[in-house]
Amino acid sequence: MFAAMAAPVNDPEHGFCRDCLTLQRGRTMRCERCGSPRIVRHPELHKLHIAHIDCDAFYAAVEKRDNPALRDKPVIIGGGKRGVVSTACYIARIQGVRSAMPMFKALEACPEAIVIKPDMEKYVRVGREVRAMMFALTPQVEPISIDEAFLDLAGTEKLHGLPPAMVLARFSQAVEKEIGITVSAGLSYCKFLAKIASDFRKPRGFAIIGKEEAVSFLADQPVTMIWGVGKAFSEVLARDGIRTIAQLQKMERSDLMGRYGVMGDRLYRLSRGQDDRRVEPDHDAKSVSAETTFDTDIATMDDLVPVLRALSEKVSTRLKKANLAGRTVVLKLKSQDFKIRTRNRQLGDPTRLADRIFSTGLDLLRKETDGTKYRLLGIGVSDLSDDGKADPPDLVDMQSRKRALAEGAIDALRDKFGRKAVETGYTFGKGHRGRPSRPDEDEGPEVQHPWERI
């Protein structure tokens, strides 16, 4: 049914209906077939292939799906000891509730809200289902977080019988129907603008930013729209009188670099819509890590070690699933005053074993247990490669060889009976204080993509 529509959509005059996917040959405001107002028209529709997809109010949407009585009510997901909002549904957002807001403030803004504790296992499962549907569109999927990913849909038109824009519209419909939550999608020629576009018309949004309009579109936006410009850096820029992207567009590269170093180069390029980062599927990921935030801040090896062990196992499981290994082990700590310490050590050869990740992390951790109280601990590996050369038996000493074999056996049992069936000495019955207050953070960044290459 769709194949017949594929060719004519390449006419820039034509649009399509997001609801019935019918091609629109005329210029009417509503769909010629179903009357829907959700018409997409764009002169570069057939040229653009970099997409960003992000689920709408993800945790809240999953809870509403599972309890239809919540559908028209303001719902906040969050709580735990730190008492912050993980997310709020769009009804609660109208009243001013936002992610990361202290719960008491959120309830001041929206006293009638229904507060639900996060069910991380469920969200991870649903996130994976959405991701699996993305992989059915193209292998070029770069997951960014639990609810979002970049996709490069170049060269998929033959497979789908539809151009990328229509593939995305059909995908959004399929997620609604099959999973029961909504997503927003953005389409552009680069990642920077695809991500901005997906955020533009949330929820159930679809936006396109083409090459022709990129510079003028960006000119009207605040500098905070640029990746890497957070609160602190935007204050630095504000002190220099720079608030809009239009101002950056008028500045020379040398001037920006002179003032802000490498960040100046990023400002120069992104303000002009220049971003040549490719969509990097999972195997090109820069690192695989897991981290957790504690209920109460902790300082001693006794408290930290069981958490490190559990996180190392998690990282190892992820590496094994993705057939990856990493050569550099990275330890991350966040102290009570929110200062982040990262320490890393390069190994002789890449590893995917929980045991090697753990013991390297342990060495690094010992040097940091100087009485400082920590609120977060993370461990990961970078310098990734496929696992062909990982943990060569002749380089791994006898003891770790035995452990490697044991790990294989544990993995097999866990595959069969679930994670909790097998606990190691370090995690069993320990780590209560180190349990995450917000289970979402327990997942940590599944795959991190630093922006150094911008």
Cis peptide before 74 (omega within 30 of 0): no
Q: Which of 142, 148, 291, 313 is catalytic?
A: 148
Rule CB under 6 A: is residue 150 a binding residue for ligand TTP? no
Q: Show contacts with ligand TTP in window 198-217 (CB under 6 A).
A: 202-203
Query: CA nearest 336: which of 304, 299, 375?
Result: 375
CB of 359 to ligand TTP, least distance (A): 31
Phi, psi of 421 (to 5 degrees): -65, -30
Find where tokens 């009804």 sit.
Answer: 91
* Catalytic-residue membership of 148: yes
Rule CB under 6 A: is residue 94 a binding residue for ligand TTP? no
Answer with the entry of Mg ion, ligand TTP, none that 202 interacts with (C-beta below 5 to 8 A by kind): ligand TTP
C-alpha of 366 from chain center: 31
CB of 448 to ligand TTP, least distance (A): 15
Count the residues of the shown chain that bind ligand TTP, applying the rule CB under 6 A: 16
Biggest CA pair distance of the chain: 74
Rule CB under 5 A: is residue 440 a binding residue for Mg ion? no
Q: Counting beta carbons within 10 angstroms of the beta carbon of residue 425, is it exposed (0 to 12), middle (13 to 18) or buried (19 or more)?
A: exposed
The CA-CA-CA angle for residues 10, 168, 193, to 5°, reads: 85
Rule CB under 5 A: is residue 148 a binding residue for Mg ion? yes
The CA-CA-CA angle for residues 58, 63, 66, to 5°, reads: 130
* Residue choice 63, 142, 147, 303 for contact with ligand TTP (CB under 6 A): 147
Rule CB under 6 A: is residue 180 a binding residue for ligand TTP? no
CB of 173 to Mg ion, least distance (A): 18
Q: Which residues are annotated as a binding site for Mg(2+)?
A: 54, 147
Q: Counting beta carbons within 10 angstroms of the beta carbon of residue 417, is it exposed (0 to 12), middle (13 to 18) or buried (19 or more)?
A: exposed
Count CA within 13 A, CB hemisphere, residue 43: 4
Rule CB under 6 A: is residue 427 a binding residue for ligand TTP? no
For residues 45 to 74, the per-residue mask of contacts with ligand TTP, x marking binding by CB under 6 A and - elsewhere, is: ---------xxxxxx---------------
Find where tokens 């997503």 sit.
Answer: 183
Contact residues: ligand TTP, CB under 6 A: 54-59, 86-87, 99-100, 146-148, 202-203, 440
Contact residues: Mg ion, CB under 5 A: 54-55, 58, 147-148
Which residue numbers are catalytic? Answer: 148
